[in-house]
Chain A
Amino acid sequence: MKYDVVVIGGGPAGLASAKSAYENGAKKVLILERDKELGGILQQCIHNGFGLHKFKEELTGPEYAQRYVEMVKGYPIEIKLETMVLNISQDRVISMINPIDGYQEVQAGAVILAMGCRERTRGAIAIPGERPSGIFTAGAAQRYINMEGYMVGKKAVILGSGDIGLIMARRLTLEGAKVEAVVELMPFSGGLNRNIVQCLDDFGIPLLLSHTVVDIKGRDRLKKVVVAKVDENRKPIPGTEIEYDCDTLLLSVGLIPENDLSKEAGVNLDSRTNGPIVTDSMETSIPGVFACGNVVHVHDLVDFVSEEGERAGKFAACYVSAENCKLENVSNIKNGDGIVYTVPQMINLDNLQNKLEIFMRVNNVYKNKKIVVREGDNIIASFKRVHLAPGEMEKILLPEVLLKRISKDITIELQEVI
């Protein structure tokens, strides 16, 4: 079986890329989704705040997902649910299984990786202590509550102040649980400011910055969590322990792009994003294999995931019709002072479009800085920012006129506003 474009993952990134691939001329498009329905993790995000950029209105996760599901279903795009991809070969043969077709292989003109991300666990950060039940990743608790309809506990501590942790602090409170505290290792929150206000401040839930969990007690169900303050090296300070009686610990300690398939296929990954290194066309190091969404880097807002998906879909379609995406004249984007990563990491100078969005994260909280794009000592562009934080993804837009000035590698960095 042959398809022009095969999209792996039917979440927001995959849906947007499939739709865009079809709109840009790919005739046979196939979406492979491992779950029993489309929409990905959005389906369990029943809070609102999605779609402000994309649809100029506040939608819930399932509502946002539904808009894209309907758009995709409006086209003759093929969808296979409960389908697990086992392997992607270098020449884009995809092997998969599902309960209906059994084992199957298809040949793809182009592949779009859109597998999303997974949560870091207790093991990933080696939280010491006993091993009772009652310790959940925030996402697993969200699934139990919002999709299975069961409550996970009565009294909780949440470790990690990323957006899922903050959202779950509010969700547990609304369902009648007491959230004792949200504990954050860093001296700043990893979540969006609006979520700190709406999920913690509005409910009087304390946020303990520069704190972490140092012990877990309970041999069957969780009984106590011990929290301590950390020093500037993030090491717990003895004598600062606070003991919380609680039956639940939620972990919101980071998301990792899920690139097991990409790795097996030989796609080069970026050690900072944990996702594929991509060009401005969202093409990976393997020609004809594109990537978008949280499998590339973890986004704050689904709106940007959709945009990235649309870009991947468009260039995947273009690859199938023209195969014109040769990587010969490439500019690498280097991370300068204050920048943790950028996406894309490369610009294909032979293939420049009329404008280029570059996403990035900064390594600390900053006030009054400028994001500078330079080639050698030559400053190509500079963007003022009043406030920068690691929890809020930054985006700059390079118009065509500036892009044309680029001839080799560029650096993006933060500089003082003088």
Chain B
Amino acid sequence: MYDVLIIGAGIIGTGIARELSKYNLKIAVLEKDTDVSNGTTKANSAIVHGGYDAKEGSLMAKYNVLGTSMYEDLCKEFSVPFKRNGSLVLAFNEDELEHLNTLYNRGINNKVPGLSIISQEKLRELEPNVDDGAIAALHCSSAGIVSPWELAEALIDNAVENGVELFLNTEVKSIEKLDHMFNVTTTTGIFHGKYIFNCAGVYADIIHNMVAPESYKIKPRKGEYFVLDKNQGSRVFNTVFQCPSKLGKGILVTPTAHGNLLVGPDAQDLDDRDDLSTATDKLDYIKFKGSHSIKNINFRENIRTFAGMRAESDRGDFIVEESSVKGFFDIAGIKSPGLSAAPAITLAAVDLLKNTGVNLVDKKDFITPRKHTPFMHLSTEEKAKKIKEDNRFGRIICRCEMITEGEIIEAINRPVKAVTLDAVKRRCRPGSGRCQGGFCGPRVQEILSKELNKDMKDIILDKANSYILIEELKK
């Protein structure tokens, strides 16, 4: 019997797991995919918003501003890339300038730090490549960029080190409410728990409806993106938005925490919650709109396109509450600025549990997160020392991102093991460079096969049936 079952291992599920792992609780995280952070958390704009977009008084406004203020310490604690690079909303005409004022005032009401409306000259100073037509901008120095999946992985690693049990490939099929517990039937067995946190992202309403009367609907909204080579990463310094429309904040152009350039997303309302396909007309639209903000982006330097799904709820705000069923908490509709708000939402979720009267006793031997520096960020002396201690750090496997064999082996053997090629990629980046694994893919697969003591052909790319090789050649 678990005290707490967490359904979904995205940035919210992993965050709650880690926060609750500070207490003497028996906790399980149930994740349907082969890895954590494999839904909305891995495919979004990877930015930390200032907090001037959300309506005054909304949960979105409250948690965004609070969450954003927590990012520095959080990412430092977990050795995750984060940079407060600032954001700009561009105005191209008088109407849009008016809109900047609206955003500015809302930001002030929301208590967003570092807001100002800047002139054309100041804008050119901050962003030399901004389009000539931009006449002013709303600058928010407290906005940032982060690596969201790395944060989720670090959170779950630390949670697991502190006793949380993670069950991957475990899809929830039904939930039964008994007197003082829930029976959760999954594809890998039945779990019993006293409390449930529903952090199932675009599936949250389906999970909710398994045990409680419908109280919200999740509408999946897809967005497509370009990721460009690092040689385009310095086209911009801030995260550059255009004035928002009804469908969202519009196409943005931003550097990523790893130095690439990201352009996107568009907004497509869908019925299919798993449709992560891209389409040429959509990508062309993004290219067109992105080029309207920043001059001369070289889309020939694109290295990957992808689509992500955001969980739009019909309530128009985050849902952070105990449902009509006692002990079943919904943390749902975490659309943008969900990533920015995640650290604050996590704390709010823990409060929900506290409010039920559960006695949370501090864990005495709580383990703090391990410090980690990527090999290439070490000084020359540190590099030399590291290779001397373990010569596998002297062997570069991924030549685009300069990732060593030592780092790949470390990634595989973290508290939550990386068992797929993409899981290794998300943890230490081989294959995220310009060759997209063309060179290093087979070698990472070889290392996985050795470390996990599995045949080469049993190593998959990402999803459960995404096999890479079919059989050994006839000898």
Contacts and interface: CB of A to CB of B under 8 A. Distances in A.
A133 B445 CA distance: 13
Nearest to A36: B395
Interface string B41-77: 0000000000000000000000000000000000000
B237 interface: no
B203 to A, nearest CB: 15
A102 B469 contact: no
Given A140-B438, A143-B442, A149-B473, A99 B457 contact: no
A131 B438 contact: no
B471 interface: yes
A126 B394 contact: no
Interface residues of B, number: 55
Given A123-B304, A133-B467, A148 B394 contact: no
A103 B381 CA distance: 8
A37 to B, nearest CB: 13
Contacts of B434: 118, 121
Contacts of A86: 402
Given A121-B436, A139-B438, A97 B302 contact: no
Nearest to A119: B438
| Chain B binding surface, main DSSP class | mixed
Name A's interface SS.
mixed
A145 B442 CA distance: 11
Contacts of B186: none
Interface string A152-173: 1110000000000000000000
A356 B304 CA distance: 41
A207 to B, nearest CB: 23
Contacts, number: 145
A131 B276 contact: yes
A98 interface: yes
B399 A137 contact: no
Given A98-B395, A152-B468, A220-B465, A123 B437 contact: no
Interface string B400-414: 101000000000000
Interface in B336-358: none
A103 B380 contact: yes
B391 interface: yes
Interface in A34-57: 34
B303 A151 contact: no
Contacts of A123: 227, 302-305, 436
Contact of A144 (B274, B276, B396, B469): B469
Interface in A148-204: 148-154, 175
A129 interface: yes
Given A103-B387, A131-B306, A260-B400, 20 more contacts: A86-B402, A101-B394, A102-B391, A118-B434, A119-B438, A121-B303, A122-B304, A123-B303, A124-B302, A126-B278, A128-B283, A128-B305, A130-B277, A133-B460, A137-B435, A139-B438, A145-B473, A152-B468, A219-B463, A220-B466
Interface of B: 226-227, 231, 274, 276-280, 283, 299-300, 302-306, 380, 383-384, 387-388, 391-392, 394-396, 399-400, 402, 434-439, 441-442, 446, 456-457, 460-473
